[in-house]
Structure 1
Amino acid sequence: MGFRFNDRALGLLAFLLFVSTAYAEIPKQAGSPSAESDQDAIRHPDASEGYRFLTQQALLPSDFNQRTVDQVWQSWPEPLRSRAESATVAQRRRMIFQRYGLTPRPEHLADDGADPGKPLQYVVSENGDWTMNCFSCHGGSVYGVPTPGAPNNRFALQTMTEEIRSTKFRIGEPLTRMDFGSLVVPLGTTHGTTNAVVFGMGLMHFRDADLNVLDRPPASFTNHDMDAPPWWHFYKRPYLYIDGFAEKGHRGLMQFTLVPENGPDFYRQNEDHFKDVYAYLSSLRPPKYPHPVDSDLARRGKLIFNQNCSNCHGTYGHRTDAEAIAAYPNEMIPIDEIGTDPVRHEALGVAGRTKYADSWFANVGQADHQATIVDPAGYVAPPLDGVWASAPYFHNGSVPTLWHVLHPDRRPAVWRRTKIDLDESKVGLTVETTDRVPLEHPDVAVRRTYFDTRRLGKSALGHSYPDMLTEAEKDAVLEYLKTM
């Protein structure tokens, strides 16, 4: 069952997006650099500064404070609430991280039982305000190892927002736009997926070409879940987004800060910082497969892969970055041919893509107007660097393992992750399959761990090319995919 706006919901969304800040203490210029950021300094893009900026500078209004976080466990169902009540403060915070898909920052990894500190996914200010950052979706755990740039396949944004809102009601904290907006706009129906289209189709609708905020009726668009791509593909890909419609650039990365508090001055003042972010993303590379690989089988798999898969996904091996980039074909596959879920392709229409093309994001200068494809034919086949580490698969996260990618007829209709470990035999998430989502389960967080491929935008169909391979050939390709 999908979610589409009706007129009443559209009107409510418009109200929520532009509601008076009387409901919350929101700074007038959220995300403006502090004096310490040395805004007027001229410097070359710096990857380490890009990471620092994302983890230390709030670019959006704060979502909640530390007091709310420390009491959110009281909104949990039993028996989890009782376990949290009897836990130490440090143990309770680790339970909070576990429930919502948060991870410690790699530079501050705590020992078991210790306080996990600040999460990678949020900027936490000195006075305890929590503000979501880009790592919420793009900073996950690779089978238990916190990894900036990895898709956050456990992020429970909808559940977290609901339970934070309930806690605020109980303790008297003011509600924020996220608390109101999540009542209308679904933030993700399955843990690990998010409704990213709201940035491009929802918030961009309220801007002119120079990013001035417009007072206008909201646009209607189809909400759907997306699986975040790994950032270690960034250096190879010449575009942003899975349909390749927007040429890659530092300005395009700023689109995800389009809240009304961030006016045109915010984007011009922070542009140099996003050059640092661009440099940081460009510096990322995938983790290496940590388990033994059958080298003979992998060599056979490489030959089969190069004969059958490389035209779309490229070739791989020991080479310089420039050679690796050149070996990636950036091939767009027509939607009817690829056969994967078409909702993402249809949700961003020509008008929405054209609005982006005409905006400040794509117009870097007279000599550097970025290319925009306003009517892409389908999806672009992604690079496969570190593919073992980026489960689940497909743009909507509908396929749990690489074995299931290679066996289209064996993909489960409903599945859920059962533990954090890598399934070494199938290379991907360790899952169980079932006939349906247990809607009678009392914990909504548990219900949202189930992925139902029969829902709108969540189909696991398509990419049937592996059907041309024999079972032995599939085994060899699967072994080779571990080496990328």
Structure 2
Amino acid sequence: MMVDIRQRRISHLCFAGVVTVGVVAACHSGDDDGGTSTSVAAVGSPEEFFAARVQPNLGYCRTCHVPGGVADKPEGRRMRLSSATGDDYRNLQTSWTNLGKGVESNLILQNASGQHAHSGGAPWATSSVAYQDMKTLLACWADPAHCDFGGEPPPPPPTYALLGNLESNGGRNYAAQFCENQPDTAPLPLDPRELISGSRIGNPNYAVYYNAPYKVCANETLLENQAKQNAILVAQGKEPMYTAKPRPTTCGEWRAAVERGRKYIFSNAITGDLIPVEGVWNMAKTLGYTIPTDPQAATELLRTVMQSRYGYPPNPYPNPFPLPGEDPNLTNGGSVQGPLGFVQTKDANGRWTGVVGATCYACHLGQIGNGEVSGDASNYFRKNGHPEITGGLPIGFYAGAPGTNIDLGLLYNDANRANGVYGRNSIQVVLDNPGYMANRSRGVNAADQEIVNVLLFRELGTLDWRAKLAEPAYLGKLMPTVPLTGGDQQTPAWWWTHNKTRYLWTGFGSAGSSRGNYFPSSTNKYDGYWSKRREGDFQDLDIWLNTVEAPKYPHGYCSNADGSPGPADNPYCIDRPLAEQGAILFHNKNLWAGGANADIERPAGGNGSCAGCHGVYSPYFAHQPGYLPDPRLVGYAGYVAPQAVAGTDSADSSLFNGLGARPLIPQDQVASVASMLWMFYPDALPGFIPPEKLSPLQNQLMGVVNSGEPARPANDGCSPLPIIGYTAQPLHGVWAAAPYFHNGSVPSLWDVLKPSDRPDVWRRQLAPASQANPKGEVGFDTSLTAYDFDKMGWRYTPLQCSDITGPGYLSCRAGPYTKVPTVFDLVTDAFKSFADYFPPAPEAVEQRAVFNTHGYGKGNQGHAYTKVLTDQERKALLEYLKTL
């Protein structure tokens, strides 16, 4: 027998308990760099065989089975190693004895091969060299007459790291990663999400379970049907409105689409005209401010109020607004710098209108630190003038971060209070009245409620308003909000969009549908023509949005991959050995093993671990058999957790999955009726009936009475997903996505993993008084000093119900959360919504910073299966999540 000298060189790292990037697989059985091997003569004693063939494979075990490791508990201590590598032979033999001796019946082999429940997973398949070598040693210990150390080992397998980076853990958009050093003519590779379809849906044979298919919805049939529809419109003497275009197929086409999407999101109001700039200045006057005539002073006033009262960071991009009485067309848009998230519109002739509309950033932006957080400074986007994609702007602005600092409801309320619900300066699109009633807390908003309003009041095919009264200028201003809806949501991070199969929290829209991402922008005052003709623009915007990358954890590793001291030297740097323990737990620990969590429904497939729902992120596990159907799916998630599994507040999922449509539509018909909605691409199916060929009455009834069009099957990918539950999001940059759950009800990742620690009423740390506006108002503190790097979330103060003294809509119902409101609750809430037409009390601004989980749709229950974790396991998992 020959023993590989390179394996001996790797082994010193494994012996030291250092299972690190580039080493872990070698510690199992492989070479460290794939170079040529030099061999020496075989060994004959058990001790020599152990040192040459078995000890190199103990590195993976040593990650957890050492004092202080996650396996340092009564059951795990039966298998015990230490940092003293010279004791490995004795420690392993003692462990073998503690576990009942024997050979293949011993838990050393049973656990490591997956024949017995093991939080560390199954690193040694029964056919592997590591398994056979351990079996040979145990047979020798069991009976010295069976000490057979002959045989030449097969070549080592490729090595993969246990911990990865943004490239290797799937954190970068597939096209961005591929095209970085490719010419414009290079054909784009397959979007890995397209692998999450067909027989992989509902397949229980992988550690990761998929039940939510992905599909690119814009196909050739769509383009053909749109050409026919445009021809019908032209024949009727109308302008064409359909603008869908083929998806990019080369790196050059993709780059051009990204650039067009970037320009569109910064310069176009997806709402169209929303409120005259004069109305914005009226808001400042109503708040008691005098409007300066000096442009710089007026810019500072807007910045201060937008940041402290509404949570918007300063705008780092040019955005001209006119002063009162200023003609914007004489001053290139105006002499004042406007706020982030709102832009002045232009008319069909390219002239400034003096009217403001909202961009996507009105909801989808965050501020994290003051420039300490950044992306990869070497990548394509940083080099090509797209800093917002990778972050790192000096003000801490991060594109697509959850809008957890923003109080959009209060802004709507102030606009109504200053300009009236009706009138020239009023908000022209108000689908939730009053705004602060539907958006009950700073940091969340009722976006899904607005989308449902669109579904109710627009024709499903044409997107025209069903009647004049249904337009926002009328019905939207007459109907007060009754909170029997989806409740508030926290906007999901954009940096997850390219790594999941479904768009919304509820899994309702396909991530392969630019219409799914764009449909919320139909909350405008215009007809279907205005919305539909922007489809091509939104295809570009969607491609840009899919390039946004997660922010890197800002404090780096405490040690390098080889165990030497790392570049980071601070209390918050990542403990690499602990993170490696977390990686193993994340991908392997079955939270239902041994009868645990018997009171919670288990997912229908997967291995019961965190990865089973959220996906694989470790390059090592991505290449382990049985984890993924294809290693290209590293970092991708395609699971919508049914309500019985998720257990989180059900208001939003129930609304979007059909319960909100009752009694108009029977539950079993919701999916087929919704599939006729423009959002779900009925025009991409053969046999599509264009709305231009239907009578007005037929268009009115579409979606209530089946029109005879072909309906999409439930597993089509572009159809509504018939699962009442919530999307298990990818976890890149999850450290920066606090607070957590779809409704933002849990302040930190520690509280997610330890349900018993979750506060019922709490408030994030407020900014220091030095940042207050002249009225003394401050928003949330977004500096990194306000971030709790131990609990992984923004620092907060637990409160009691008695601490809430604001208006009625913030009332605190002590006691357990009521999942189904009583009749008394509904009547009371309806009355409050009428009462809230009156201006809120002055303390409401501060009280809206309080998160009250007793309110409707704001419960913090769910994700309770992590209750079975030990605190040491939670710490290891948090340390691993920092690396993603």
Q: TM-score, normalised by structure 1?
A: 0.80
Is 1:335–2:643 an aligned residue pair?
Answer: yes
Q: Which of residues 276, 299, 302 in structure 2 aligns to 1:93?
A: 302
| 2:437 counterpart SS class | coil
Given candidates 600, 611, 617, the residue that maps to 1:310 is 611
> 1:176: Cα distance to partner?
2.9
SS in 2 for 1:345: helix
Quote the Cα distance in structure 2 between the aligned partners of 1:303 and 1:162. Answer: 49
Counterpart of 1:9 in structure 2 is none
Change (3 A) 1:276 1:479: same
The answer as to whether partners of 2:410 and 2:435 remain within 8 angstroms in 1 is no
2:744 is aligned to 397
Q: Structure 1 374/483 Cα, relative in aligned 2: closer, same or farther at 3 Å?
A: closer
442 and 105 in structure 1: CA distance in 2 versus 1, 3 angstrom threshold: closer
| 1:143 Cα deviation from its structure 2 partner | 3.9
Which residue among 691, 708, 731 is the counterpart of 1:384? 731
Range moving further from structure 2, 133-142 or 358-367: 358-367
After the TM superposition, which of the residue ranges 156-165 and 183-192 deviates more from structure 2?
183-192
Q: CA distance change for structure 1 residues 285 and 325 in 2, over 3 Å: closer, same or farther?
A: farther
Pairing 1:472-483 to 2, within 5 Å after superposition:
472-483=872-883
Relative to structure 1, is the Cα distance of residues 41 and 200 closer, same or farther in structure 2, using a 3 angstrom cutoff?
closer
Q: Is the 8 A contact 1:55 1:122 kept in 2?
A: no
User: For 1:334-373, what aligned pairs fall within 5 Å after superposition?
Assistant: 334-350=642-658, 351=665, 354-363=672-681, 364-366=683-685, 370-373=717-720
Cα distance in 2 between the residues matched to 1:47 and 1:135: 17
Residue of structure 1 aligned with 2:848, choices 436, 440, 448: 448
1:277 Cα deviation from its structure 2 partner:
1.0
Q: Which letter does structure 2 place at the counterpart of 1:283?
A: T
Matching residue of 1:155:
406
Residue from 198, 207, 210 that aligns with 2:459: 207
Give the C-alpha shift of residue 309 in structure 1: 1.0
Describe the SS at the equivalent of 2:759.
coil
The change in CA–CA distance for 1:324 and 1:157 in structure 2 (over 3 A counts) is farther
* 1:139 paired residue number: 365
Equivalent residue number for residue 514 of structure 2: 250
CA shift for structure 1 position 329: 4.1
C-alpha contact (below 8 Å) 2:432/2:450 kept by paired residues: no
Within 5 Å, give how 1:160-175 maps onto structure 2: 160-169=411-420, 174-175=425-426
Query: Secondary structure at the residue paired with 2:261?
Result: helix
Aligned 8 A contact 1:123 1:133 in 2:
yes
Where is the strand percentage greater, Structure 1 or Structure 2? 1
Pick one of 443, 448, 467 that aligns with 1:192. 443
Partner of 1:122: 342
Give the 3 Å change call, closer, same or farther, for CA 213–417 of structure 1 in structure 2: same
Superposed displacement of residue 279, structure 1 = 0.6
The residue type paired with residue 189 of structure 1 is R
Mapped to 1, the partners of 2:413 and 2:528 lie a distance apart of 31
What secondary structure does 1:290 align onto?
coil
| Partner residue, 1:438 | 804
Change (3 A) 1:390 1:264: same
1:213–1:260 contact (8 Å) kept in structure 2: no
SS in 2 for 1:246: coil
TM-score by length of 2: 0.46
> What code does the residue aligned with 2:441 have?
T
Which residue in 2 is equivalent to 1:227?
A: 490
Give the counterpart letter for 1:198 in structure 2.
Q
- 1:140 touches 1:154 (CA, 8 Å); kept in 2? yes
SS of the aligned residue for 1:177 comes to coil
Q: How far is 1:445 from its partner?
A: 1.4
Q: Residue type matched to 2:492 in 1?
A: P
- Change over 3 Å in CA distance of 1:414–1:474 after alignment to 2: same
- Alpha carbons of structure 1 residues 177 and 71: separation in structure 2 relative to 1, 3 Å: closer
Equivalent residue number for residue 34 of structure 1: none
Tell me, in whole angstroms, the C-alpha distance in 1 between the residues paired with 2:450 and 2:852: 24
Structure 1 spans left out of the alignment, 5+ residues:
1-38, 110-114
Counterpart code for 1:372? S
**Equivalent of 2:794 in 423, 426, 429:** 429
Distance 1:389 1:108 in 2: 27
1:334 and 1:377 in contact (8 A); partners too: yes
> What secondary structure does 1:130 align onto?
strand
Greater Cα shift, 343-352 or 447-456: 343-352
**Amino acid aligned to 1:147:** Y
Question: 5+ unaligned residues in a row in structure 2: which ranges?
Answer: 1-242, 320-334, 346-351, 371-395, 556-572, 589-608, 624-629, 659-664, 687-711, 766-780, 807-840
**2:618 is the alignment partner of 1:299:** no
Q: State yes or no: 1:236 paired with 2:504.
A: no
Question: What letter is aligned with 2:526?
Answer: N
Change (3 A) 1:199 1:161: closer
Q: Aligned with 1:451: secondary structure?
A: strand
> Cα 1:403–1:324, aligned 2, differ >3 Å: closer, same or farther?
farther
Contact kept in structure 1, 2:432 and 2:438, CA below 8 Å: no
Which residue of 72, 75, 80 corresponds with 2:286? 75
- State the SS of the aligned residue for 2:795: strand
Over residues 162-181 of structure 1, what are the superposed CA-to-partner deviations in whole Å (9 max), with x where a residue is unaligned?
Answer: 112222259x8532334685
- Once the two structures are overlaid, the 10-residue window that deviates more, 469-478 or 46-55, is 46-55
1:349 Cα offset (Å): 4.0
The CA deviation at 1:408 is 0.5
Give the direction of change, closer, same or farther, for the CA distance of 1:75–1:426 in structure 2 (3 Å limit): farther
Distance, in Å, in 1 between the alignment partners of 2:804 and 2:500 is 39
| Offset at residue 355 of structure 1 (A) | 4.2
**CA separation of 1:373/1:340 partners in 2, compared to 1, >3 Å: closer, same or farther?**
same
Residues of 2 paired with 1:63 and 1:250: CA distance? 23
Q: Is the 8 A contact 1:188 1:225 kept in 2?
A: yes
CA contact (8 A) 1:398 1:458 kept: yes
SS in structure 2 at match of 1:228: coil
2:538 alignment partner in structure 1: 274
For 2:567, the equivalent position in structure 1 comes to none
Percentage of identical aligned residues: 26
Q: Take 1:235 and 1:340, find their aligned partners in 2: how far apart are those partners?
A: 24
What is the aligned partner in structure 1 of residue 234 from structure 2? none
Residue of structure 1 in register with 2:314 after alignment: 104
Q: Distance in 2 between matches of 1:222 and 1:382?
A: 23
The one-letter amino acid of 1:473's match is E
Task: Note if contact 1:422-1:429 (Cα within 8 Å) is conserved in structure 2.
Answer: yes
Where do residues 32-71 of structure 1 align in structure 2 (5 Å cutoff)? 44=253, 46-71=257-282
SS in structure 1 of the partner of residue 514 of structure 2: coil
Preserved contact between residue 446 and residue 487 of structure 2 (Cα < 8 Å):
yes
| Whole-angstrom distance in 2 between the partners of 1:267 and 1:69 | 25
Counterpart contact for 2:366–2:399, Cα < 8 Å: yes
Determine the structure 1 residue equivalent to 2:331. none
Quote the offset at 1:393 in angstroms: 0.2
